[in-house]
Amino acid sequence: MSSATGEPSRPTDLFASSPLHDVMYGHIHSAALRAVAVHRIADHLAEGPRTAEELAARTATHGPSLHRILRLLAVRGLFREDERGAFGLTQEGQGLRTDLPDSRHPAVLMFTDPMFRRSADGLTDTLRTGRPGFTEAYGASFFEYLAKSPEDRATFDAGMATLSGPVDELVAQSYDFPPGSRVVDVAGGRGGLLRAILTRDPTLTGVLFDQPVTVAEHVLNGPGMSGRYEIEGGDFFVTVPAGGDFYVLKHILHDWNDEDVLRILGSVRRAATAGARLLVVDSVLPEPSAPHPGVEVDIVMLMILRGRERTAGEFEGLLARAGFRAERVLATPSLPSIVEAVAV
Ligand SMILES: C[S@@+](CC[C@H](N)C(=O)[O-])C[C@H]1O[C@@H](n2cnc3c(N)ncnc32)[C@H](O)[C@@H]1O
């Protein structure tokens, strides 16, 4: 404590009310978040607050630096510093623990990974060229690169599974599949959504389709699932499984530009008989434009892929060109909506 008299300035109001400040410093917060996630600091706070020195001793990190990083993240509401200088987790910070079923840790590792950071760094060039920063930085398209990089593939699949888990349940409960239906989840990842759908009605059966490396890690072999699902690995630009009453594309079309979307929808249309239904599960951006959380995902698509988020009208146009009639848009209690279409 200083013996000097007087009060230092406390610019908290200025700090809290400056969007420019927040956006400008965004990468610092993101890097600090990655540092505590990589070193699994939150796992050591499960039983209560600890000082940075105590945490550093347990995690083989540098105490004074850890103190400064935790102080920053406390400003962002992830940690709380008490009067003896110990740090605890806030409700939001609990998501950083790896031992809880709803842990956000894999999603944090994915979004702060160099794959995403380097792609974001490329936005200045993307603004000139229209090309994704990922392709420029890594010399391959995102999914081609992942197919050859098992560690990064695991980071991505685990992050996606974490993000999708809660959403899968909410999407599954937002659509009533008629009893006995066969549901094909095209590029369904590890099968979280299909599992949520099949769990709701024991008469439903399903097919999980994705790239072979991804379906190899599927999560469908739980209780009550025996004999109710098939697993198929393949390339949706070539073909997708036939015979579905329902085809689901969740968070797929937003990964691709219009030309590629038409190729994917073409594969689905060739596999589906007339009358089969297609559920496109993606953000549906408001028309006319208005603030929507999907615009953040839209920029992720811009920097890593050639994809984009779309409006209902844009989905309707693409579906019509591929032989589907869009019939309605259903809200879900989560970010994506369901665009329901029928094969004509
Ligand atoms: C954004 S993830 C969405 C996964 C899942 N539907 C979900 O919502 O969690 C995109 C998926 O597309 C798959 N994918 C990418 N290219 C593919 C291709 N050519 N054929 C089949 N699946 C592909 C990836 O393996 C990945 O699982």
Q: Could you read off the pLDDT of 114-128 as tens digits, one per residue?
A: 999 999 999 999 999
Instruction: Clarify whether residues 178 and 252 are in a common domain.
Output: yes
Q: What is the model's pLDDT at position 16? A: 61
Catalytic residue, from 39, 67, 105, 254: name it. Answer: 254
Per residue in 327-340, pLDDT tens? 999 999 999 999 99
Instruction: Clarify whether residues 291 and 200 are in a common domain.
Output: yes
Q: Is the dihedral of CA 257, 341, 234, 209 positive or negative?
A: positive
Q: Does residue 3 register a pLDDT over 80?
A: no
Q: What is the model's pLDDT at position 17? A: 65
Q: What is the model's pLDDT at position 9? A: 76
- Of all atoms in ligand 1, which is nearest to the CA of residue 164? 9
- Of all atoms in ligand 1, which is nearest to the CA of residue 146? 25
| 210 CB near ligand 1 (under 6 Å) | yes
**What average pLDDT does range 85-100 have in this prediction?**
97
| 236 CB near ligand 1 (under 6 Å) | yes
| 237 CB near ligand 1 (under 6 Å) | yes
168 contacts 336 by C-beta, under 8 angstroms: no
Q: Quote the ligand 1 centre to 210 CA distance (angstroms).
A: 6
Per residue in 138-176, pLDDT tens? 999 999 999 999 999 999 999 998 998 889 999 999 999
Identify whether 181 is part of a domain: yes
Q: Quote the ligand 1 centre to 46 CA distance (angstroms).
A: 34
| 256 CB near ligand 1 (under 6 Å) | no
- Of all atoms in ligand 1, which is nearest to the CA of residue 163? 9
Which protein residue's CA is at the shortest distance from atom 10 of ligand 1?
Answer: 252
Instruction: Clarify whether residues 47 and 184 are in a common domain.
Output: no
Q: What residue has token string 């968070």?
A: 251
Identify whether 162 is part of a domain: yes
Q: Tell me which of 79, 96, 113 is where a domain ends.
A: 96
Identify whether 305 is part of a domain: yes
**What's the CATH number where 77 sits?**
1.10.10.10
Instruction: State the pTM of this model.
Output: 0.87
| Domain, as residue range, for 31 | 12-96
Instruction: Clarify whether residues 157 and 283 are in a common domain.
Output: yes
Paired tokens of 234? 């393949």
Number of domains in the chain: 2
Instruction: Clarify whether residues 18 and 80 are in a common domain.
Output: yes
Q: Quote the ligand 1 centre to 156 CA distance (angstroms).
A: 11
Dump the DSSP string for 29-58.
HHHHHHHHHHTTTGGGGTTS-EEHHHHHHH
| 250 CB near ligand 1 (under 6 Å) | yes
Q: What is the model's pLDDT at position 8? A: 81
Q: Quote the ligand 1 centre to 137 CA distance (angstroms).
A: 21
**What's the CATH number where 280 sits?**
3.40.50.150
Residues of the chain above pLDDT 90, percent:
89
Instruction: Clarify whether residues 79 and 169 are in a common domain.
Output: no
Q: Does residue 13 register a pLDDT over 80?
A: no
Per residue in 275-306, pLDDT tens? 999 999 999 999 988 899 999 999 999 999 99
Identify whether 210 is part of a domain: yes
Instruction: Clarify whether residues 153 and 78 are in a common domain.
Output: no
What are the angstrom distances between the C-alpha of 336 and each of 83, 139, 177, 312?
42, 31, 18, 12
Q: Does residue 28 register a pLDDT over 70?
A: yes
Give the long-range contacts of residues 94-99, CB within 8 A, separation 24 or more: 94/42, 96/36, 96/37, 96/41, 96/42, 97/42, 97/43, 97/45, 97/46, 98/40, 98/42, 98/43, 99/43, 99/46
Q: What is the model's pLDDT at position 186? A: 98
Which protein residue's CA is at the shortest distance from atom 16 of ligand 1?
Answer: 143
Q: Does residue 188 register a pLDDT over 90?
A: yes
Q: Quote the ligand 1 centre to 77 CA distance (angstroms).
A: 33
Instruction: Clarify whether residues 153 and 263 are in a common domain.
Output: yes
Annotation marks residue 254 as catalytic:
yes
Q: In whole numbers, what is the pLDDT of the chain averaged over residues?
A: 95
Closest CA to 235 of 217, 213, 220, 251: 213
Which one of 255, 306, 335 would you pick to mutate in the ligand 1 pocket, going by the greatest count of ligand atoms within 8 A of its CB? 255
Instruction: Clarify whether residues 135 and 230 are in a common domain.
Output: yes
Instruction: Clarify whether residues 84 and 155 are in a common domain.
Output: no
Which protein residue's CA is at the shortest distance from atom 12 of ligand 1?
Answer: 187
Identify whether 207 is part of a domain: yes
Q: Quote the ligand 1 centre to 253 CA distance (angstroms).
A: 10
| 301 CB near ligand 1 (under 6 Å) | no
Q: What is the model's pLDDT at position 4? A: 83
| 143 CB near ligand 1 (under 6 Å) | yes
Instruction: Clarify whether residues 150 and 277 are in a common domain.
Output: yes
Q: What is the model's pLDDT at position 11? A: 65
Identify whether 128 is part of a domain: yes
DSSP code of residue 341: E
Q: What is the CA radius of gyration of the chain?
A: 23
| 252 CB near ligand 1 (under 6 Å) | yes
- Of all atoms in ligand 1, which is nearest to the CA of residue 157? 27
Instruction: Clarify whether residues 316 and 167 are in a common domain.
Output: yes
Identify whether 73 is part of a domain: yes
Q: Quote the ligand 1 centre to 64 CA distance (angstroms).
A: 42
